[in-house]
């Protein structure tokens, strides 16, 4: 009987639970034994592994976070940790491991693949920084969470005729900022992929005020190389407009996953099981348009991210 | 100076305001004069047309409904109504009309095109029943609204160990039911595109109960050819399980549009203006993967819908 | 050692889980043994009773529905059922039972009290139909759910210049309709406590239209003695305005409880345990202003409901 | 004809728009002329005052922020500014001014009263720091916003087995922290009214971890006299548990007001108009239980705040 482990790794993202559920249930439907591995590669090294039945993934499809816990594992980066992980996989007789996580987790999976372990990778991170797939699981939820925050902040910002800088996540990728900025009607969006022009940002504020605009929302990705409070001070100094800062932080990681994220997670994990059943190995599963697709893992992780920088032109014209 | 009219037509959908905003603002940025036409083809016939400036579309990107009002126009179906509409377009000197709506609205636009009017069509309907585009504006919001309703109903349904049938919209298209059903973990989904098997539905309920499941959610698309209360009675009779009905109705049309719907609406209308500026005519704008695309209007409306019937297999295995 | 049972009964309401949690945890903190009774009086009769520890109520404070399930028990209405229930309480050695539910559940508790069982009653129903307490647990959540639905429906209603009748719950009490109607800016609110004047309703619609209003929202409590679709037909006939119906139904019972409902539930159950510890018996716990109060159960259930009919005057003036 | 001005002042709060709407509409219904004053006392000094009709407050009851803008006015604190404000009131012939705001705004109103201006004060602040009324308008919405943030953060916090400190608003009042902490199941709540015991906070974390708890949420009111990041470092150092910080900031001021806040705002402003009509002067309007009440302004502002410190005992036992 085929035995398959499932783990979630790296920063958590909404949709991880939907991915776990689909893997476990489709695995069992295909006659496999399914095993949950706790806390990502940490739990793999420690052998925190247990069988999961259909009921164990009941009532989680709509929950944020991950039932299996997640972690960033330093030990897994060492030869010794990797050895232990491989040994545990062999001890438990796992024929394949489904890795649900982001870029770092995929690289970890690739090192397992080098040791002869069959890994199937499901792209789950709010950062949308994986080039081989149209989008990543959790990104849509994070963008909608930021959008809802923009809504709240616009109320108060326009009541006080203020500028507000909202700092969002995304590590070195500007997509959360770009998507939320364009969808939220932000006046300026600052991303790590491109240098920003403080003068242009200030000009928009001044022109907006002259035109009678009551609020200015600036979305700044965390990867942009300037401290947010410092930026606020510089804007205040140059424009005279009261400028506040909101750092959304971990808010963006949680919350009920959106339909889109649940569907992608469900379909991707469902496919992971089919690939294992059909004898495939070491694939990265992704979305291309409406279709679930898959690529050789090592090729997939080499494809560079394509941030939506063309949104900047629209933001410029429309806000 | 190029003059462009904008109208919303047919059933309203979340994202219509974002589409209006992007058209008006990008039009003005391209040196055009922009005109709002009220109540779709009704207002066109009546000449309810006025110029719109940048401020007129401020603070609407996040609002459901449509600032321009919408209607289904019977008069426009007549030769006389159509003549009047064409005359109004000529009176106001409109070089093009951006039509934001669904299938019926696109067909209306095609009749205008036959009379020599340049029309640009933006697909806006919650039904997702347009084959030439991956998705339609408003669909993502509607699915998420249904998902949130499923969340509420699951609480009470499982507290009472009940079966609940949730009737959703979609006219002759099952996509709202399929997407919300798969994402919401529904036990059964009934769609108009395929015959349904009452026996199978009842078996799932009985087997679920035997397995200890506390709730059963059935999503039924409005297009399915059986009255929902009647279906509830039949299920109750065959399974003995208390079966309730919730008809979501117009709830599904409103609400703040999701990020996805706002982005598609914004990008599609932005493109509509660029097409007009570049001399194109009579195009249907759509989404293909991550890209905004456009096709000749008449070809676009001939492409049949592709409902996500393959989701049924996943629903069967996973619930 | 004091042993205390907890049950939820009647229609479920958001906040029941918060009430269960507070009872179990405060009971244990006071050195009691806490027992969950499943499906209300049904489970009591059947002896579906088990000990609950601190962890058993973890992660439920924010969940709708009830972890203990609920039911309306016909058997409990019979002498035989009541005998069995009393016997089970004695078999398990329960010194007191905390009954979380509405009016019917309180009456059931009173019959237990007549047989010498110590009952502590926590008012949990979305209907707000209990006169001895300022409000009931679940009511605030239900009103906010209706409010959010009104928001969605206003979007689409005003886009089509329609009248929409929203039918809400509340059994014979009009409070959900009154609170949501006043807070939602509804044009008319129909409640079972007062006769309604079809003419006045129609006049408001016509006058609103003449004044340029784009939408009309009528909130109708389910207890009003006219079929909602029939009412829509009558309004359409008299005013010529397109009139739609949305029946919110079971949507209103579910959902994450609001802060207010969670706090009342938590404080009320906390107090129930203190009362048991302090030797009190047969009390109905309620809210008076900011304070948690308690009354003799039999007196409490005699106090008539005071629906907020004075809101009608405000609705009349403000909409 | 009686002329009445309306202004919103100080930090904005959800419900201000509902208060403006009820004042304007009930004023007009009582035959008064209603005037909006922009940006609080700033606009009063500058004479930014205009007549408002029924339609001017349409479609705002559900909106956060304030249509009239708000500000904190330094000029109003000076003799010269005050003189100008009084002169403007006389110039426009205002018989009374409705002041919608918090403690500082009420004090400003009292100085106007000293100059013979009739002021009616409606308590609108998210801080709940006004002792004469059970609650303030905006507080319920803010608490629910924090609760929703706690939900998001609990997901990610428990997925990583982390402690998260959430810093909330409230100035020198701990009520937002206390209400959200008790309703959200937080492990510890730190408020400015009481010294906190770092040791106790750390013990809870360690004991929780030993008991198998996956997350720890600490709510810290902004008024607590320690920098939040510093607190996180101290906790991390003492417990070894990864400790993150989220500062909710201006998120808490915005958002659609809850039913409760809209109703209180509506009823309070409605009453303000009635009081003016009936010849009363200089009253602070409040909530006592279910009733709208009013007190002499100067007495009202002397009543000390009663923070819900008794909630701490429940938090201790229940988390």
For the segment C75-133, what is each residue's pLDDT rounded down to a tens digit?
999 999 999 999 999 999 999 999 999 999 999 999 999 999 999 999 999 999 999 99
Is D146 found in the same domain as D133? Answer: no
Domain endpoint, select from D198, D226, D253: D253
Cross-chain Cβ contact B183/A267 below 8 Å: no
Query: Chain C interface residues facing chain B, Cβ-Cβ under 8 Å?
Result: 8, 12, 14, 16, 39, 63-66, 69-71, 145, 149, 151-161, 164, 214, 244-255
The residue among A144, A22, A12, A29 whose CA lies nearest residue A65 is A12
Q: Judge whether A105 and A120 are in contact, CB under 8 Å.
A: no
Cross-chain Cβ contact D157/A14 below 8 Å: no
Tell me, what's the pLDDT at D215? Answer: 83
- The structure tokens listed for A275 are 């690939």
CA A275 to chain centre: 23
D89 has pLDDT over 90: yes
Closest-CA residue of chain B to C146:
B251
**Angle, helices C175-184/D259-277, rounded to nearest 10 degrees:** 70
Tell me, what's the pLDDT at D246? Answer: 97
- For residue A145, list chain D residues with Cβ-Cβ distance below 8 A: 152
Indicate which residue of B12, B53, B59, B127 is catalytic: B127
Q: Which chains touch A (3+ CB pairs under 8 A)?
A: B, D
**Element of type H or E holding D96:** strand D96-101
Is D147 found in the same domain as D210? Answer: yes
Closest-CA residue of chain B to C155:
B65
Closest-CA residue of chain D to A71:
D160
Residue A78 lies in a domain: yes
pLDDT one-digit tens code per residue, D23-48: 999 999 999 999 999 999 999 999 99
Cross-chain Cβ contact D254/A156 below 8 Å: yes
Q: How far apart are CA D68 and CA A290, in angstroms?
A: 46
What are the residues facing B286 on neighbouring strands?
Answer: B293
- Nearest-Cα distance to chain A for B227, in Å, is 27
- Nearest-Cα distance to chain C for B69, in Å, is 4
Any idea what the CATH number is for the domain that residue A98 is in?
3.40.50.450
Closest-CA residue of chain B to C253:
B156
Classify residue A13 by its DSSP letter: -
Collect all residues with Cβ–Cβ distance below 8 Å to D174 and sequence separation of at least 6: D189, D191, D192, D193, D194, D221, D223, D307, D308, D309
Most D CBs within 10 Å, among A38, A160, A214, to test the D interface: A160
Classify residue C92 by its DSSP letter: T
Among this protein's residues, is B59 annotated catalytic?
no
Classify residue B137 by its DSSP letter: B
Tell me, what's the pLDDT at D212? Answer: 84
- For residue D252, list chain A residues with Cβ-Cβ distance below 8 A: 152
User: CA of B35: how far to CAs of B10, B57, B110, D153, D230, in Å?
Assistant: 19, 12, 20, 46, 57
D211 has pLDDT over 90: no
Tell me, what's the pLDDT at A214? Answer: 83
Is A146 found in the same domain as A124? Answer: no
E-only strand ranges, B193-240: 216-221
Closest-CA residue of chain B to C242:
B71
Cross-chain Cβ contact A155/D247 below 8 Å: no
Domain endpoint, select from A253, A269, A284: A253
Is A173 found in the same domain as A128? Answer: no
Is A221 found in the same domain as A112? Answer: no
Is B59 found in the same domain as B188? Answer: no
Average pLDDT over residues D79-86: 97
Q: How far apart are CA B101 and CA B121, in angstroms?
A: 8
Residue A314 lies in a domain: no
pLDDT one-digit tens code per residue, C203-231: 999 998 888 888 899 999 999 999 999 99
Phi, psi of D45 (to 5 degrees): -60, -40
Is B217 found in the same domain as B166? Answer: yes
What are the residues facing A243 on neighbouring strands?
Answer: A163
Average pLDDT over residues D284-292: 97
Is D124 found in the same domain as D8? Answer: yes
pLDDT one-digit tens code per residue, A140-191: 999 999 999 999 999 898 899 899 999 999 999 999 999 999 999 999 999 9
The residue among B152, B319, B158 whose CA lies nearest residue B246 is B152
Q: How far apart are CA C61 and CA B222, in angstroms?
A: 35
Angle, CA of D175, D176 and D182, to the nearest 5°: 85
Average pLDDT over residues D148-159: 93
The residue among B18, B27, B58 whose CA lies nearest residue A319 is B58
Any idea what the CATH number is for the domain that residue D194 is in?
3.40.50.460
Please give the tally of structural domains in chain D: 2
- Nearest-Cα distance to chain B for C294, in Å, is 27
Most C CBs within 10 Å, among D159, D255, D318, D319, to test the C interface: D318
Residue A313 lies in a domain: no
Is C229 found in the same domain as C100? Answer: no
Cross-chain Cβ contact D64/A255 below 8 Å: no
Tell me, what's the pLDDT at C246? Answer: 97
Tell me, what's the pLDDT at A215? Answer: 83
The residue among C263, C260, C262, C285 whose CA lies nearest residue C272 is C285
Q: Judge whether D264 and D19 are in contact, CB under 8 Å.
A: no
E-only strand ranges, C163-282: 163-168, 188-190, 216-221, 243-247
Q: How far apart are CA D185 and CA D188, in angstroms?
A: 9
Residue D312 lies in a domain: no
- Nearest-Cα distance to chain D for A154, in Å, is 7
Is B183 found in the same domain as B161? Answer: yes
Q: How far apart are CA B211 and CA B227, in angstroms?
A: 29
ipTM of the prediction: 0.97
Most D CBs within 10 Å, among C55, C183, C315, C317, to test the D interface: C183
- The structure tokens listed for D108 are 């400003």
- Residue B303's Cβ-side half-sphere holds a number of Cα atoms within 13 Å equal to 17
pLDDT band at D213 (very low <50, low <70, confident <90, very high): confident
- Strand pairing of C291-296 and C283-288? antiparallel
Residue A316 lies in a domain: no
Tell me, what's the pLDDT at C73? Answer: 95
Q: What is the dihedral of CA B137, A262, C14, C99, to 10 degrees?
A: 160
pTM of the model: 0.97
Is C55 found in the same domain as C85? Answer: yes
Low-confidence ranges of chain A (pLDDT < 70): none
pLDDT band at B215 (very low <50, low <70, confident <90, very high): confident
Low-confidence ranges of chain C (pLDDT < 70): none
**Residue B8, helix vs strand vs coil:** strand
pLDDT one-digit tens code per residue, B36-59: 999 999 999 999 999 999 999 999
- Of A25, A180, A314, nearest to B259 by CB-CB distance is A180
Domain that residue A146 falls in? 140-253
Average pLDDT over residues B304-312: 96
Is B148 found in the same domain as B70? Answer: no
Residue D17 lies in a domain: yes
User: CA of A284: how far to CAs of A103, A131, A276, A300, in Å?
Assistant: 11, 11, 12, 6
- Nearest-Cα distance to chain B for C253, in Å, is 6
Q: How far apart are CA D198 and CA D201, in angstroms?
A: 5
Residue B319 lies in a domain: no
Residue C312 lies in a domain: no
Cross-chain Cβ contact B263/A182 below 8 Å: yes
Tell me, what's the pLDDT at B311? Answer: 98
**Angle, helices B228-239/B198-210, rounded to nearest 10 degrees:** 50
């Amino acid at each position: 009987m085929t035995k398959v482990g499932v783990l979630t790794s790296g920063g958590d993202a909404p949709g991880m639970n939907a991915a776990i559920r689909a893997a476990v249930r489709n695995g069992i439907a295909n006659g496999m034994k399914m095993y949950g591995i706790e806390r990502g590669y940490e739990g793999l090294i420690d052998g925190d592994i247990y069988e999961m039945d259909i009921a164990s993934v009941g009532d989680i499809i709509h929950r944020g976070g991950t039932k299996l816990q997640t972690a960033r594992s330093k030990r897994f980066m060492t030869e010794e940790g990797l050895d232990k992980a491989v040994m545990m996989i062999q001890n438990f007789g796992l024929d394949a491991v489904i890795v649900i996580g982001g870029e770092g987790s995929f690289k970890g999976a690739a090192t397992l693949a080098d040791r002869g372990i069959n890994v199937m990778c499901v792209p789950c991170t709010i950062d949308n920084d994986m080039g081989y797939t149209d989008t990543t699981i959790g990104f849509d939820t994070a963008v909608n969470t930021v959008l809802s925050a923009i809504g709240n902040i616009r109320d108060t910002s326009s009541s006080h005729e203020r500028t507000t800088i909202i700092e969002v996540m995304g590590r070195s990728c500007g997509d959360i900022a770009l998507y939320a900025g364009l969808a939220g009607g932000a006046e300026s969006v600052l991303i790590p992929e491109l240098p920003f022009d403080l003068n242009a940002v200030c000009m928009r504020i001044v022109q907006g005020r002259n035109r009678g605009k009551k609020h200015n929302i600036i979305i700044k990705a965390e990867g942009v190389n300037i401290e947010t409070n410092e930026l606020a001070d510089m804007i205040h100094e140059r424009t005279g407009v009261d400028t506040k800062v909101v750092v959304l932080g971990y808010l963006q990681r949680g919350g009920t996953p959106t339909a889109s994220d649940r569907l992608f997670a469900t379909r991707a994990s469902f496919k992971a099981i089919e690939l294992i059943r059909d004898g495939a190995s070491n694939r990265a599963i992704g979305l291309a348009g409406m279709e679930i697709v898959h690529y050789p893992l090592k090729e997939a992780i080499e494809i560079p991210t394509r941030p939506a920088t063309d949104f900047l032109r629209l933001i410029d014209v429309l806000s």
